[in-house]
A and B are shown apart, each in its own frame.
Chain A
Amino acid sequence: MLDFFKFFSKEDNKSKDVAKERLKLVLIHDRANVSPKFLEMVKGDIIKVISNYMEIDESSFTIKLSRIEQGDDNYSSALVANIPIKRMKNIGKNNG
């Protein structure tokens, strides 16, 4: 597995590619933080969609952007949401 990554990292060895990848990642966070409302807006929309399927505990709903390590100094960004479910709606029945 390590060799597999090495194989790719050799291809990406140029410092400009490293710069580009790092910048892309950092800008995801920068852009999300430009407006404090950004994550609130995302949260609002998620609640809207999810509420069609389940009843959730909005007061304990948390959402954040974070970096996830994918091994070997490889990072990617992820939107991490924690959505406590109170009750499932019975939608499956109607579609079955």
Chain B
Amino acid sequence: MGEVVVITSGKGGVGKTTTTANIGTALALEEKKVVLLDADIGLRNLDVVMGLENRIVYDLVDVVEGTCRLKQALIRDKRFKGLFLLPAAQTRDKNAVTPAQMQKLCEDLREQFDFILIDSPAGIEQGFKNAIAGADRAVVVTAPEVSAVRDADRIIGLLASNELLNPQLIVNRLRMDMVKRGDMMNIEDTIDILGIDLLGVVPDDEKIIVSSNRGEPVVMESSSLAGQAYRNIAKRLMGEEVPLIDMENEDTFIGRLRKFFSGRNKKKE
């Protein structure tokens, strides 16, 4: 029986889709059977981030309405064994499905997969309600800035009132240079304010944009710090204990120099 995890944030643009794509890919690399479910009906993007946009025939709404069988709508990612995408419909809106239908869909997917990752739409309306309806647990993505943290707090409250009581936090787009200057809230600040458990921290990384340009998840890049962070998050989702990456020495010129001289293959603890 698989586990249904919804990835949500409240505010748009903090990296839900990138997070979903990368955690899912990382889980598949760990030999889990994974389906990425794009619940952002009308504004689908998980397909382009994953580079699977040309392979869509049927979508989530087709499955729910019985236009096709579930199996027909699942797109197999040929690059990663065990990874599938169930795309959102692009020409419909959030009201095309109901929470009850989403629950049923999640139950069906649970039979076939180890992890069902749901990419939630931004906002707190119908699309959000649909996205969380069938979930066992929730991951809240935020960026260390006031608007994203405020919205994350609201989402945590709404999750609680829908019986998703212990969401875990991903702090995305952390910039160590700004943290050091005191111009960006650090991990402790963010956790202190939101009061939930930390699942992981993802540094701001240009490679994220480069890889979504290409439709290749950044976890495929072994040299990317963000990729490493996502691989760690996937392991933590599986229940492994993985320490946070030491970003102190990574994101500065000195840090890069130090890294260069100490050899690139040094294992990060």
Contacts and interface: CB of A to CB of B under 8 A. Distances in A.
A87 interface: no
B182 interface: yes
A30 B182 contact: no
A11 B146 CA distance: 20
Contacts of B154: 30, 34
B39 interface: no
Among A16, A19, A26, find the residue whose CB has the most chain B CB atoms closer than 10 A: A16
A17 interface: yes
A23 B149 contact: yes
Among A15, A17, A23, A24, find the residue whose CB has the most chain B CB atoms closer than 10 A: A23
Interface string B182-198: 11111001001100000
Contacts of B146: 19, 22-23
Given A20-B189, A22-B146, A15 B182 contact: yes
The interface residues of chain B, by DSSP majority, are classed as: helix
Contacts of A31: 153, 157
Contacts of B153: 27, 30-31
Query: How many B residues are at the interface, by size bracket?
Result: 10 to 19
Nearest to B195: A27
A35 B157 CA distance: 9
Contacts of A27: 150, 153, 193
Contacts of B185: 16, 19-20
Contacts of A14: 181-183
Interface in B163-199: 179, 181-186, 189, 192-193
B3 interface: no
A16 B186 CA distance: 8
Interface string B140-171: 00000110011001100110010000000000
B193 A24 contact: yes
Given A16-B189, A20-B193, A30 B150 contact: yes
A72 to B, nearest CB: 21
Contacts of A35: 161
Nearest to B153: A27
A26 B189 contact: no
Given A20-B193, A27-B193, 5 more contacts: A14-B181, A14-B183, A19-B146, A22-B146, A34-B161
Interface of A: 14-17, 19-20, 22-24, 26-27, 30-31, 34-35
5 contacts: A16-B179, A19-B146, A23-B149, A31-B157, A34-B161
